[in-house]
Chain A
Amino acid sequence: MMADYQQILDRLYTHLRPMAPQGTRLGEDTDLISEFGLDSVNVMDLLLEVEEDFDISVPLNLLADIRTPKDLARAIVRLLEAG
């Protein structure tokens, strides 16, 4: 699969939208915790879905640097490219 950033971001949105608290804006720079209202366990559970979708394992160690959909999409691009 091509590791296309925009496609990956769009697929991330499909996972994120059902989790959105009412009236929350969702963009690539939305802070998943402070703006989107997820807690650390929600983020780890989101990761399980995303990992299944992309057939990858995302080490939890990366979460410290993932605050937004953009961060997560970029991490996925790197993991897909690394094979």
Chain B
Amino acid sequence: MALFDKFNKLANDRAELFPTGLSPFETRIEEVYSPTEARIGGRRVLLAGTNNYLGLTFAPECIEAAHKAVEREGTGTTGSRMANGSYGGHYALEAELGDFYRCNSVIVFSTGYLASLGLIGTLAGAQDIILLDADCHASIYDACRLSGAQIIRFRHNDVADLERRLQRLRERTENTLIVVEGLYSMLGDRAPLAEIAAVKRRHGGYLVVDEAHSLGVLGEHGRGLSEEAGVAAEVDFVLGTFSKSLGAVGGFLASNHPESEFLRYASRPYIFTASPSPSVVASTRAALQLLRNRPQLRERLWANATQLYHQLRALGYQLGPEPSPVVATLLGSRQQAVAFWQGLLERNIYVNLVLPPAAPGGYTLVRCSVSAAHTPAQIDTICEAFADLRAMLKRSDTPDSHRG
């Protein structure tokens, strides 16, 4: 097989699914007007697929902080923290996150993906075991492969399956990382974290919770599912990202294990890549302050999420198992999903199209992500477009059931 032959299947799929050449996976956002509006294909579109949960990308405080930083410290750090030094903002952001999570050790990474690789890929080694939820994000799967550890997958959100697998490991649980997510990004469902923490208490192991989609979204103070489920003290490692609720880019690890500071010396995704730019760090710090000081953003977000979920359900759509700011509509064939996505765009609504294998369980789906910046009227507009397209789904062509 020649070098490029492995792409033949991709090329065929692309030609078959997108005969006009306009692929939903190559969307060009021509101009951004606000956290909820942009121009796509020459038309003004309502954005409902951004992960911009708190709507902070245009917050004046964040923009001003980024401006000041770029003027004071320049456009980039041009190197890694270990070789080229850390800026004041890197340490300040780590201290502020440490205060927020009440953790002694916080390490900032250049992206959320790198934070996954940097923790899991470094901490677990060839003698160790990783037990991961089947629906974990690709970055976690990649991190597992990087680690060289034994990788064992358990059924999504199935605590009994996790427990059986821990029982089989017996004393090896002291070398085991259990990895779950706060809010799963495809169907918008939470992990049963209190039960998972209880299983960990019974059998041992270390618990990693990726709060990428739940930071700023769940918990009384917005710390995520660990806070909401009341088990923060039993979570050994929190992973998170700045690219969703905090409106920038970057990732972090928070832990109360003092040894996790050594990851700075051992983690290749920390050492061998450039550190976040001063403006990114500055806007992230400003956004974290807003997240902490404005709980009304979270209230607005949940009001919007609940409104969208219940209205789409009332229209007869099959959705993910529970209301959350990620609202997934399950569809039938891949062709139907593509046509549905295009139909929404023609009605000036931008959402995300997800096809297997990126979507779990062989589903095709369109995923809306809701923002605190959406107005109730905008949520209504999204629902009107969905109502318009309802006829496109014949009963026989919808999935029979969704997982609960």
**B residues bordering A, Cβ < 8 Å?**
134, 144, 150-153, 155, 161, 164-165, 168-169, 356-357, 360-362
Contacts and interface: CB of A to CB of B under 8 A. Distances in A.
A57 B356 contact: no
A32 B152 CA distance: 20
A41 B153 contact: no
Contacts, number: 35
Interface residues of A, number: 16
A61 B168 CA distance: 17
Contacts of A42: 362
Interface string A53-68: 0011111110000000
A57 B155 contact: no
A45 B150 CA distance: 17
A47 B151 CA distance: 13
A60 B360 CA distance: 17
Given A45-B134, A52-B161, 11 more contacts: A41-B360, A45-B361, A56-B168, A57-B168, A57-B169, A59-B151, A59-B152, A60-B151, A60-B153, A61-B150, A61-B151
Contacts of B134: 44-45, 48
Interface of A: 39-42, 44-45, 47-48, 52, 55-61
A34 B219 CA distance: 46
Given A44-B134, A48-B134, A48-B155, A59 B357 contact: no
A39 B153 contact: no
A43 to B, nearest CB: 10
Contact of A59 (B150, B155, B161, B362): B150
Contacts of A56: 168
B357 A40 contact: yes
